[in-house]
Amino acid sequence: MARPRTGEFVRKRTSQGMTYAVRFTYCGERYFVMLGTEVAGWTEEKARVEQAYLMAKVDRGEWMPAGDSAPSRTPTFQVEASEWLERQAIMSGDPERRSKTIRDLQWRLAIVMDVFGPVRIDRLGYRHAEDLVARLVQERLSVKLAEERQRPLRQTRVHPRTGRPFEVRRRGVSNTSIRRALAVAQRVLRDAKRRGTLAADLPDLAAAAPRPERVRRCYLEPEQIVAVLRAAELIEDERRGLTWEKAATIRASHASTHALAREFGVSDTLIRRVRRRELWVEVAGARNRDDVPRRVIVETLILGGPRVSELCGLRVQDVDLASGRIRITREVTKTDAGERVVPMLPALREHLTDHRLDYPGPPDRVAFPTRNGTPQRPDNLRSRLVEPIRRRANELLEADGHLPIAHMTPHTLRRTFASILAACDVPPRRAMYLMGHTDPKFTMSVYQQVLDVGPGSIGDLESALGCSLADARATYVGRWVFPPDSHPDAEKASAVEHGPTPKAR
């Protein structure tokens, strides 16, 4: 976020004593505002207070130069954008601004508001867009430099539901996001022109947009998939707190309290309370801070392909273990095409069943909660779950002589799911549906990158899937597929004897 402007405080000795003024830039022009003189009773302290008041009006877009007769007719960009966004929310049937589309427009406008907000729409031009791009690129470079120095910058946010502040890592605005933000700002001005609020010519804000970045579309190879799942399992075991089995072992052991605390990775106070039967008697005790599911989350992303926001919003009732399906509902997805049903492969179904036993709850509870039972946040999954798993997986890959994973995010795992569909020879239109896309060409060109499935990699991939590639294809396609060497006559005889082959639901 841009810092509030303060202006340049000017003091000068004149015939009327010390004279105080403020010099600042507004809408691309330099202004000099006289505050007062020492003869008129002005002091530096009084002038400083007036300076702060004046610059606050400038930041809000309320200050107008002397002799300007247009302030009552020409609004600032902040006012015009707020009214435009309100109209968009009403016309879309979402006056409370809860839909992803309206929230996305609001976020894009927030990117340009620091620079465009206080400027009148008839004075907004290319120079403001160029200043905005330069500022955002500089902030992005600062964030990247801080991460390289292992001192990431952080910012405070407020939870929309609880109102509690929390800190997250600062992230730079990409060139693509800058281009989209400028496009929304252009829409605001175009709407003002049609409504007659803007009399001047439309500025070409998009001309200042930076060139789009080359997208780094990464995915995991079969041996990397196995390493990621193994790494997630190892970290989960290390961070797991007490269980009923461990509580029974503690009570039966004759070892010292400190020795048991070191063995199980808990405090000696907890060991004493377990031995005194104050905890883990009739109900399970509280989980450790880092005792959260890991393997089942990354496995769901790899073998189910949900977006990270969709995974965070999944409910227990959406994970149908009886029929082996994951339902992505309209409440958690971005578009109507994102509403879909994804079948579970055997490995995923097995681990989701174990997860349900470890985290029981009502149907409307989130499927992958935090330690406190609240929904996971995408930023939390990226930084505190996926990144540590990548580092541990690279240790395993290095020990086996394989290439490390250079970059991994939840979306990397989603692209891996698309590549698995391609390796299983799932038809493009079916892959489009399972990915939640509207265009099969987009699914093929952007997501389905070819896995290096050699003789040794097939075993790795099938171990991660929990079945053969043919069985995985049959599950994803949604119908039984007979082996290539099966004879048509044998199939007919089986159908006569046992009835028609059932379709997978």
pLDDT of residue 244: 78
CB 113 within 8 A of CB 78: yes
SS3 208: helix
* The token pair that represents 4 in the structure block: 């509030």
**78: which 2 tokens?**
């902040």
| DSSP letter for each residue of 91-133 | HTT-TT--SHHHHHHHHHHHHHHHHHTTSBTTT--HHHHHHHH
- CA 351/CA 300 separation, integer angstroms: 9
pLDDT score of 303 more than 90? yes
* CB 242 within 8 Å of CB 404: no
Asked whether the predicted pLDDT for residue 106 surpasses 60, the reply is yes
Residue 264 pLDDT grade (very low, low, confident, very high; cuts 50, 70, 90)? confident
C-alpha–C-alpha distance, residues 313 and 269, integer Å: 36
Q: Which of 436, 426, 258 lies closest to 336, judged by CA?
A: 436
Task: Calculate mean pLDDT across residues 77-90.
Answer: 92
The per-residue DSSP string of 410-447 comes to HHHHHHHHHHHHHHTT--HHHHHHHHT-S-HHHIIIII
Residue 350 above 90 pLDDT? yes
Query: Whole-prediction pTM value?
Result: 0.58
Q: Are strands 319-320 and 165-169 parallel, antiparallel or unpaired?
A: unpaired
pLDDT tier at 501, thresholds 50, 70, 90: very low
**Tokens, residue 282:** 């009739």
Structure tokens, 504: 């997978």
Question: Could you give the residue ranges of the DSSP H alpha helices within 253-344?
Answer: 257-264, 268-275, 295-304, 308-313
Which is it for strands 29-37 and 17-26: parallel, antiparallel or unpaired? antiparallel
Q: pLDDT at position 336, please?
A: 80
Instruction: Inform me whether the pLDDT recorded for 499 exceeds 60.
Output: no
pLDDT at position 110, please? 92
- C-alpha span between 184 and 109 (Å, rounded): 7
In this prediction, residues 141-165 reach a mean pLDDT of 83
Q: What is the C-alpha radius of gyration for the chain, rounded to an integer number of angstroms?
A: 30
Instruction: Decide if 435 contacts 418 (C-beta within 8 A).
Output: yes
Whether the Cβ atoms of residue 337 and residue 437 lie closer than 8 Å to each other = yes
Residue (of 383, 414, 423, 398) closest to 217 by Cα position: 414
Distance between CA 399 and CA 411 in Å, rounded?
26
Instruction: At 291, list the tokens.
Output: 């005792």
DSSP state of 26: E
Q: Which amino acid is at 158?
A: V
pLDDT for the residue 286: 65
Where do the DSSP E strands lie in 350-500?
none
Q: How far is CA 303 from CA 57, 59, 277, in A?
A: 54, 50, 42
Mean pLDDT in residue range 136-163: 84
Listed in sequence order, the residues at least 6 apart from 376 whose beta carbon sits closer than 8 Å to its beta carbon are 297, 311, 312, 366, 368, 369, 370
Q: Which two tokens stand for residue 394?
A: 């690279």
CA gap 305, 430 in Å, rounded: 13
| Burial readout 177-197 (b: 16 or more C-beta within 10 A, e: otherwise) | bbbbbbebbbbbbebbeeeeb
Q: What is the mean pLDDT of residues 494-498?
A: 34
Cα 44 to Cα 48: distance, rounded to the nearest angstrom: 6
3-state secondary structure of 305: coil
Query: Cα separation of 306 and 309, whole Å?
Result: 8
What pLDDT does residue 277 have? Answer: 85
Rounded to whole angstroms, how far apart are CA atoms 172 and 194? 34
Neighbours of 438 (CB within 10 A): 13
The confidence band for 490, taking pLDDT boundaries of 50, 70 and 90, is very low
Lowest mean pLDDT, pick from 136-150, 232-246, 392-406: 232-246
Rounded Cα–Cα distance for residues 64 and 70 (Å) = 9
And the tokens for 427? 């038809």
Angle (nearest 5°) at CA 370 between 368 and 373: 90
What is the rounded distance in angstroms from the CA atom of residue 166 to the CA atom of residue 151?
18
Residues 6+ apart with CB under 8 A from 226: 460, 463, 464
Closest listed residue to residue 46, CA positions, set 34, 57, 36, 31: 36
What average pLDDT score do residues 117-124 get?
Answer: 91
Residue 226, pLDDT above cutoff 90: yes
Q: How confident is the model at residue 326 (pLDDT cuts 50, 70, 90)?
A: very high
Please enumerate in sequence order all residues whose Cβ is within 8 A of that of 499, keeping only pairs 6 or more positions apart, or say none: none
The amino acid at 19: T
Measured in residues, the chain has a length of 505
